[in-house]
Amino acid sequence: MNEKAVKQDFGKAQKIVKAVKKIASKELLWSLFVLLISIPTALIISYVISSDAHILNEEVSRDIEEVSEIITHEQPLFRVVFGICVVGLYFSRMVVSAIKNSLEDKK
């Protein structure tokens, strides 16, 4: 009997390990996807901000650049926008996942 219980516990442990590996690999792939999508998005947004900000107001353009240079030293606007894109995309992915899970629970 004891041997049978050990085999059952081992089988449960294997299932848990497989589930954890699946979740970890899924999160890794999502993280890579978010990072890869954020780079072109950040480049486009930083280009639009840097090229169009001076058209609207020269003082606002300088203020934006000064604040972003304080936050990051090299390529300030790109780094700030990249961080915002990463957080925004990953947050939206989490919201979609939460909505999907809540809809599955109602079924």
Residue 102, in any domain of the structure: yes
Segments forming the whole domain that contains residue 102: 29-106
pTM of the model: 0.56
Predicted pLDDT at 53: 59
In the DSSP assignment, the letter for residue 107 is -
pLDDT digits (tens, 9 = 90+) for 27-71: 888 888 888 888 888 777 777 776 665 665 666 666 666 666 665
Q: Which residues contact 86 (CB under 8 A, 6 or more apart)?
A: 34, 35, 38
Predicted pLDDT at 93: 85
Which percentage of the chain shows pLDDT scores above 90? 2
Token pair listed for 100? 């999907």
Q: Count of alpha carbons within 13 Å of 105, Cβ hemisphere only?
A: 6
Q: Count of alpha carbons within 13 Å of 96, Cβ hemisphere only?
A: 7
Residue 23, in any domain of the structure: no
The number of distinct structural domains making up the chain is 1
Residue 60, in any domain of the structure: yes
Residue 10, in any domain of the structure: no
